[in-house]
Structure 1
C-alpha cells in the first residue's frame, strides 16, 4: 500500500467484512500489534470497537478471564475464541508452528478446529476476527481458502523520519550529541534506513550518535552497515563495499553526466517534478574498458547500497527452489530500497535459455526477473553489464526494462590521458619511487599516444609493469619504464579484433556511446583528426550526449 492510512483502511475493511483469518508475516510484533490496536479502537474506521486479545504458547491468552494456564494449548485457545461473546480481535503469535515445516508435519487437530470455527466467526452475533502474526509466511493447503494474507510493509519514510525527529528532539532536551543535518541530509539518512525495521533503524541512528558524539550525513555509512546484515543472511546477494568514486573512472563522461542528472531522483524532492525513480542501465562494450568499475562507482556517487546478484547462486538442484531464490533476492533488494542491484556479465547468467536440460527453469527465472524489472515500483536501480550483448534475448533490451543501453568502446586519446592520470596518481605516492618523475600533461599525452587501442585494464597493467621495472632495479621510476612496457604489450584490440568489430557493429545503431561527442571528435588515427562521421563508423555507439 502507498501509505499507512491506506493500510489501516484496508485492514479495517477486512475486519468489518468478517474475514475470519488474516495473516501478517513480519518480525515487528510490537509495531504490528500497535497497528492492530489503533484500528480496533478507531470508531471512524471500524464502527464497532473491539478488544484486542493476544495469544502466545508461553503465556496463553491475555486477560484474566481467559484462564491463561488453560489456553496455552492451541486447541483450548481456539475453543476460547469460539465461545467468546464480545467483539474482539484475537492475535495468535507464532501460530505457524502448528502449520508444519521442514521435518515437521502440520497439527491435524488444530487445522481441523480452525476450519470448524471459520464459519462460526463469520456468523457470530458479535464481530470477531483472528490474526496470525508470525515472522514467516507458512500455512497448509487445507487453510488456503480460509486465510487472507495482508502485507505488512516495513516502516515508511515518514515513520522512520518521525522516529529520527523524536530522537533528535529528545537529544535537544539535554543530550550532548551534536546534530549537523539540514533537511536534505536528513532525508538522505532516512532513505538509507529504508528497509530496516523501526527498531533496527533506531539502533542504527543511536549507534551513529554515540560513535563520535555527532549525527551528520557521514553517518549514512553506519546505517548501510546495518543493511549489510540483511544481505549476508540471504546467501544469494553480496553486499559490495568499495572506496571507488567517479574520479577513479577515467573518461566515459557521457555516461557520468547521465548518472549525475539522475542523482537524488528517488528522494521526495523529485516528486514535485512528477519524476519516477530510474529503472537502470545496461552497459555493454569491449572487455576491460571499465564497465564493472563504473558500476561500483555509482554506489559512491549516489550514496546507495550496492548489491551484486550472482545468477549462478539462484539455480539449485531442488525443484522449485530456484524460483524461490529469485523471489527472495527480489524481496531483499526491495526491502533495503533505495538501492542498486548489480548483475555482472548478465549474458552468462541466462545462457541456458531455450535449452531443455533444466526443464524450463532458466526461462521461468528469466521471465520472473523481466516481469519484476518492468513492473517494480520500489527505487531499485539495476546495473547490468555484458560483453556479448548479442546473446541476450531481445525482450531484455526493449524500452521499459532499462532506461538506456550504453556502449563502452576502446578509450579515446583524451580518455587514455585521464586513465593514466588516475593510475599514476594512485600509485606514485612515495617520493623515493617518484624521484624526478612528474605527472605532466606532456608525459600523459605521450603515454596516451603509445597506447592507442589499449583498454583501461591494459593501461593499468602498463603502469603496474612499469613500476615493477623500477622496483626490480631498486630505483626511481622513469618515463622509459612505461615506454618499454607499452612497446612489448599486445593489446586486446589486436588479439580480438574481429570480436571488437562485431560488438561495435551491433552497438552502432542500438546503444548510446558512453564517451561524449567532443572526446570522440579528438580520436586520432595515424596522427590525423578523424571527422565525426568517420568516428561513428569506426567507433560504435549513437552520438547522443547528455
Structure 2
C-alpha cells in the first residue's frame, strides 16, 4: 500500500526529527489513529517507544491504557495537562479545530496560545513529545502557521478498498445467502468505483449492493456510485451527473468515437502494463446547439465512469480569498473519485480574462493549468466551449488536453436521424421517407437544438387544436424559424475558420454531405458532428 506507506514513512521521520506539532486533515479519525499506532509501535521506525494519548471533546484526554483524565474535556484544560506530562508520547487531538477558529470567526486566543506553548516546550525538551491535530478541515490561524507542520493523509488506496471488498465477499459467500457473480475484472471495477470513499463509506456501499437483490454482480457498481454521489454533493463544488445517454444516441462523430474507443479502459492495470498513461481529456468546441454537452454524458456512459460536473461559478463564490481553496478542493475531490470524467461546460465563461477581481481569476486559472499539466490520476477532463477565442492560449497548447475536436452543424444524414428521433419521442405518427427528405432540405443549416424546437413548436400547434401532429406543422415551424447559422453567420464563420487549422475533424470526411456550394453546410467543409437528441449546446 504505497500511499499508506508514504504516510507512515513521513510520520516516522517527523517524529524522529522531533517536530512538535503536526496537523492531519482527514475525516477518518480512527484510521489516522490506527496508522499512528502502527508507526509508534514499529521498532524499526522509532527506537524510543511513544505511547498514544487521545483527546476528544466528549471523552477528554484518554491515557494509553484507556483511562480518561478528569477535568480535561475543555481544550484549554487538556493542553495544560499535556504540558505537564514529561514522558515520551504522541498526543492526538481530534476535536480542536473549532477552537482554532473559522474563516469568518477568530479562534479561542487562550487555546491558540497553549498550542504555541506546547510547540515551544516540546521543541526545547529532551523528552520526545508530539502534538498531532486531526481535523476534517484545515484550520490554522496565522499565529500557528510557523509552528505547525501539515502531514498529508490520503484516502484509502484502491488496494485497501479491494482488500475490504474481498473480505466482505468471502464473509458473505460463506453464509450462502449472497450469490457472487464477479470475476477479477469485475472486482477491480468495484474497487475503482469506490476510490474516493472512506473505508466506512465503501463498506456501507458494498453491503448495500449485496443486500439489494442477494446477488453481487457488475450491475451493482451503480449502487457504489450512488454512495459516491452523496460525497460529491456535500462538497458544494461538484455535481455527480446521471450519464444516461448512450453513444448510439450520438450521430456522426466517427473520428471522435474511434478516438474514444481506443482509450476505453486505459485507466485499468492492464493498460499500465503497456506503459500507457491515463488520457488527460479533450476540448470540444463548435456551433452552439450542436450537442457538445450531450457528448460529454455519452462518453461517461460509454466508459462506465462517474461524470462530475464542475461549476466554475461556484469556485468563485464565497468569501474573498476562498476561490483558490475552492479550486484545490474540487481537484482533490475529482482525484479522489478517479477514475472519472470531469465535465466543465462552457469553460470559456469561467476562465476568460477578467478585470476588477484583483487577479483572482488568474490565480485560480493557474492552479487549474498546473494540475492539468501534472495530474497523474485518471481524471478525464471533458471541456466544452462555444467561443474558443475567449480561452487563454495556455489552455490550448499540447499537454493540457490530448486533443481538440470541433462540432459543426449536422449533416443531411444526421438531420434525418434527428427528425426521426424527436418525432418518435413526442408523437405517435411516424414520418415517411419522403417527409424526412423534405424536412432535411428545409432544415439545412439548422442545429439539432433548432430541429428539436421545430418539433416542439409543431406540437404546440397540434395541441391548440387537440389533434395529432401533422407533417405540415413541422414544415410551418421550420419555415418560421430563423436558424443561428443566419442570425450569427459571421460568428459561425469565424469559429469555422479557427477550426480549419486548429481542431481535429470529429466526423470522418466521407460522412460529411455537400451543400450547394460544394461544401458541407455550415461547417467550413472540415468538421461535422451531432448528437441525435440535439443537446442544448
For 1:43, the equivalent position in structure 2 comes to 43
> Which residue among 444, 456, 461 is the counterpart of 2:453?
461
For 1:19, the equivalent position in structure 2 comes to 19
For 1:191, the equivalent position in structure 2 comes to 192
For 2:154, the equivalent position in structure 1 comes to 153
Matched, 1:395 2:381: no
1:236 and 1:132 map into 2 onto residues whose CA distance is: 26
- Secondary structure of the equivalent of 1:524? coil
2:164 and 2:266 map into 1 onto residues whose CA distance is: 24
Task: Structure 1 unaligned segments of length 5 or more: list them.
Answer: none
Kindly indicate whether the alpha-carbon contact (under 8 Å) linking 2:514 and 2:521 is maintained by their aligned counterparts in 1.
no
1:101 and 1:492 map into 2 onto residues whose CA distance is: 49
Matched, 1:525 2:515: yes
Report the CA distance shift for 1:425/1:184 in structure 2 as closer, same or farther (over 3 A).
farther
2:258 and 2:435 map into 1 onto residues whose CA distance is: 28
Task: Structure 2 unaligned segments of length 5 or more: list them.
Answer: 530-537
Report the CA distance shift for 1:100/1:499 in structure 2 as closer, same or farther (over 3 A).
closer
- Secondary structure of the equivalent of 1:399? coil
1:67 and 1:535 map into 2 onto residues whose CA distance is: 78
Report the CA distance shift for 1:525/1:214 in structure 2 as closer, same or farther (over 3 A).
same
Q: TM-score, normalised to structure 2's length? A: 0.89
1:215-230 matches, cutoff 5 A: 215-230=216-231
Matched, 1:498 2:484: no
Give, in angstroms, the shift of residue 89 of structure 1.
Answer: 1.8
Give, in angstroms, the shift of residue 125 of structure 1.
Answer: 4.3
Report the CA distance shift for 1:153/1:439 in structure 2 as closer, same or farther (over 3 A).
farther
The superposition leaves residues 99-153 of structure 1 with CA deviations (integer Å, 9 ceiling, x where unpaired) of 2235654333333333333344245444322211122211222222221101111
1:99-118 matches, cutoff 5 A: 99-101=100-102, 104-118=105-119
For 2:297, the equivalent position in structure 1 comes to 296
For 1:538, the equivalent position in structure 2 comes to 524
- Secondary structure of the equivalent of 2:72? helix
Report the CA distance shift for 1:155/1:483 in structure 2 as closer, same or farther (over 3 A).
same
For 1:509, the equivalent position in structure 2 comes to 501
Q: TM-score, normalised to structure 1's length? A: 0.88
Matched, 1:418 2:417: yes
1:103-182 matches, cutoff 5 A: 104-182=105-183
Q: CA RMSD in A?
A: 2.9
For 1:451, the equivalent position in structure 2 comes to 443
Kindly indicate whether the alpha-carbon contact (under 8 Å) linking 2:101 and 2:141 is maintained by their aligned counterparts in 1.
yes
Stretch moving more, 266-275 or 236-245: 236-245
Kindly indicate whether the alpha-carbon contact (under 8 Å) linking 2:485 and 2:522 is maintained by their aligned counterparts in 1.
no
1:241-280 matches, cutoff 5 A: 241-280=242-281
1:55 and 1:75 map into 2 onto residues whose CA distance is: 12
2:514 and 2:459 map into 1 onto residues whose CA distance is: 28
1:93-104 matches, cutoff 5 A: 93-101=94-102, 104=105
2:468 and 2:106 map into 1 onto residues whose CA distance is: 73
For 1:58, the equivalent position in structure 2 comes to 58
1:325-340 matches, cutoff 5 A: 325-340=326-341
Kindly indicate whether the alpha-carbon contact (under 8 Å) linking 1:265 and 1:277 is maintained by their aligned counterparts in 2.
yes
Give, in angstroms, the shift of residue 381 of structure 1.
Answer: 1.7
1:4 and 1:382 map into 2 onto residues whose CA distance is: 27
Report the CA distance shift for 1:399/1:359 in structure 2 as closer, same or farther (over 3 A).
same
1:363 and 1:421 map into 2 onto residues whose CA distance is: 46
Report the CA distance shift for 1:473/1:160 in structure 2 as closer, same or farther (over 3 A).
same
Kindly indicate whether the alpha-carbon contact (under 8 Å) linking 1:323 and 1:365 is maintained by their aligned counterparts in 2.
yes
1:97 and 1:168 map into 2 onto residues whose CA distance is: 40
Report the CA distance shift for 1:75/1:498 in structure 2 as closer, same or farther (over 3 A).
closer
Matched, 1:406 2:405: yes
